[in-house]
Structure 1
Amino acid sequence: MFNLSYKAQRYLILFGFLTIPVVLSLMFSYYPAFSLLYYSFTDWTGLGWEMHWVGFANYKEVFTRPEIFSVFEHNAYYFVGGLIQTAVALFFAVILTGKLKGRNVFRAMLFLPYVLHSVAIVIMFKNVYHSEYGSLNLFLQSIGLGSWQQEWLGNPHLVNVSLAFISVWKFFGLSMVIFIGALQSIPADLYEAAKIDGASGWQAFRFITVPSIRSVIEMMMILTLTGALEAFDIPYIMMLGANGTDTFVSKTVDMAFKFQQAGLASAMAVVLLLIVMFFIFIQRKLLFRGGE
């Protein structure tokens, strides 16, 4: 190699560094994706390699079986929770970006839930939501609100709200840290000039803060949407889809591994990908077209 010219060495090094990530991407991203697409047109059971081509039969079944698409109603709880989470995270980010004593301690405390594993969080909240010895019902009783006690995981009208709250609690810290990073990039001179001109705190937030972090807000909205559509770990670990808590992803997993219909599950995964891409396109073109 040392006998090669500098230009040849440079191209060889660049080729070597580019080849490895491209090969890994082809092996672990594109090949599984194209395999998933192929399986969606077959009746593969997920066991062995015996499969038959069925064309669009799996996709027809996805769109004609009401119990498959009806679970998106459960995903809606996570989307609404994500919107609330984003708004509250921005509020706390504004507060913790200011001159608040001990702000780093508050940042660490609010970010800590995101570091915890989903299984540990489920165990924690099972003790919170338990109907007999759960800390939430005990707290309500201790402050004289015993009539508000509920079977938080047994009531079909409250169970998805309870699970969505867990998701909000877990990912709140991440949203807050992202907003803090965006807020710290705004020049302080803008706020000083606005203060001199007599602008209120709300006016400074509306006309300086929001336009300055518009792209970050857009990203958080996309993450909220995709996170809601792909909700899986917390509801599946907590309830295993019982009591009307199954989401589209958990339905897909059950279809593949419980009912051994990997072909149909692959079609559901492709449909979910198309739905996510469609909503992201609509969001970027309609909601945020003014920023382009």
Structure 2
Amino acid sequence: MNKWSYKTQRKLILIAFLAVPLALLGMFTYYPAARLLYQSFTDWNGVSASSTWLGFDNYREIFTNPALFGVFLNQIPYVIIGIIQNIVAILFAVILNSKLKGRNGFRVLLFLPFMMNAVAVAFMFQYVFDTSNGSFNGLLGFLGLESLQQSWLGNTSLVNYSLASIGFWRFMGYNMVIYLGALQSIPADMYEAAKIDGSNRFQTLWYLTLPNMTKIIQLNMFLTLSGALAVFDLPFVLTKGGPAGASETFLLKTIQTAFQFNNFGLASAMSIVLVMLTAIILLIQNAVIKRKGD
């Protein structure tokens, strides 16, 4: 070792320290990704050592079969509720950023649902939306609104909105905390200057607060939209994709294709399509935000 120069020794030490994490990264990230891409062009059943090359047949099947690509329509309510969730989170962040008595307690209460396990939340809301003894129908009956009582998870028109509302309850406080951090990073003298100029609360929010939160809003909207594309736990636990497939999501369909029908080739192609759609949403969102910024 002494025969080598200090520069050579330094390079060898750096390579030695980087070798293990790079090897792990390649083994558990890049190789599986490359393998997934390869399998998406085959008919591999998940068991056989060999498979048949199909070319783009799996991708053609995804985009032409309404039973596969059409389930994205079931995820539109998640997008709608997600956008409303971000709007409400911004409003709560603005309110709790003011000098409100007990604001720290309200922050904790709103953030607590995010700390709960997703499966536990799903089982909890199974009792909330229960048709016979559910607390939601019980509340409607107490208020004299018996005509609105129904099977919230059994109605094909409402099941996805019911499931999306659970996500609203769970993630709104998380988004609020992120927006709250963004608000606290805005210098106070900017608000003082706006107040001196005669801006009211709405004008201050619209022309000062929101423009300074653009990057954070962009991040949260990307997480919301990508999360809406990859919904799995709620429909899997509560409805199993029912009733009559009304709450099936693309990710749930991917899992079923792989492990129920043993078509890992098609499931791999569906995974690639999901990643591509997420990337497209990110690019469109960045283009829209950049255009508005210009």
Bin of the TM-score, shorter chain as denominator length: over 0.9
Q: Percent identity?
A: 50
Q: Is the 8 A contact 1:77 1:160 kept in 2?
A: yes
Report deviation, 1:7: 4.9
The answer for the alignment partner of 1:151 in structure 2 is 151
The answer for the alignment partner of 1:249 in structure 2 is 251
The answer for the alignment partner of 2:227 in structure 1 is 227
The answer for the alignment partner of 2:28 in structure 1 is 28
The answer for the alignment partner of 1:271 in structure 2 is 273
How far, CA to CA, are the matches of 1:274 and 1:15 in structure 2? 34
How far, CA to CA, are the matches of 1:3 and 1:179 in structure 2? 57
Residues 48-57 or 71-80, more deviating: 48-57
Q: Is the 8 A contact 1:163 1:234 kept in 2?
A: yes
Report deviation, 1:224: 1.4
Report deviation, 1:188: 0.6
Match of 1:208, as an amino acid? L
How far, CA to CA, are the matches of 1:110 and 1:13 in structure 2? 48
Q: For residues 176 and 19 of structure 1, do their structure 2 counterparts lie closer, same or farther at Cα, with a shift above 3 Å needed?
A: farther
- The number of aligned residues is 292
The answer for the alignment partner of 1:81 in structure 2 is 81
Match of 2:266, as an amino acid? L
Q: For residues 119 and 5 of structure 1, do their structure 2 counterparts lie closer, same or farther at Cα, with a shift above 3 Å needed?
A: same
The answer for the alignment partner of 1:99 in structure 2 is 99
Q: Is the 8 A contact 1:191 1:204 kept in 2?
A: yes
Match of 2:192, as an amino acid? E
The 5 A counterparts of 1:51-200 are: 51-200=51-200
How far, CA to CA, are the matches of 1:9 and 1:73 in structure 2? 59
Q: For residues 12 and 205 of structure 1, do their structure 2 counterparts lie closer, same or farther at Cα, with a shift above 3 Å needed?
A: farther
How far, CA to CA, are the matches of 1:96 and 1:225 in structure 2? 25
Report deviation, 1:81: 0.8
Gaps of 5+ in 1: none
Report deviation, 1:6: 6.0
How far, CA to CA, are the matches of 1:153 and 1:87 in structure 2? 26
Q: For residues 19 and 174 of structure 1, do their structure 2 counterparts lie closer, same or farther at Cα, with a shift above 3 Å needed?
A: farther
Q: Is the 8 A contact 1:218 1:288 kept in 2?
A: no
Give the match's secondary structure for 1:209: helix
Normalised by the length of structure 2, the TM-score is 0.94
1:6-59 deviation digits (Å, cap 9, x = unpaired): 655654554344334322221222111111100001110112323121111111
Q: For residues 199 and 2 of structure 1, do their structure 2 counterparts lie closer, same or farther at Cα, with a shift above 3 Å needed?
A: farther
How far, CA to CA, are the matches of 1:2 and 1:137 in structure 2? 79
How far, CA to CA, are the matches of 1:136 and 1:11 in structure 2? 65
Q: Is the 8 A contact 2:154 2:242 kept in 1?
A: no
The answer for the alignment partner of 1:259 in structure 2 is 261
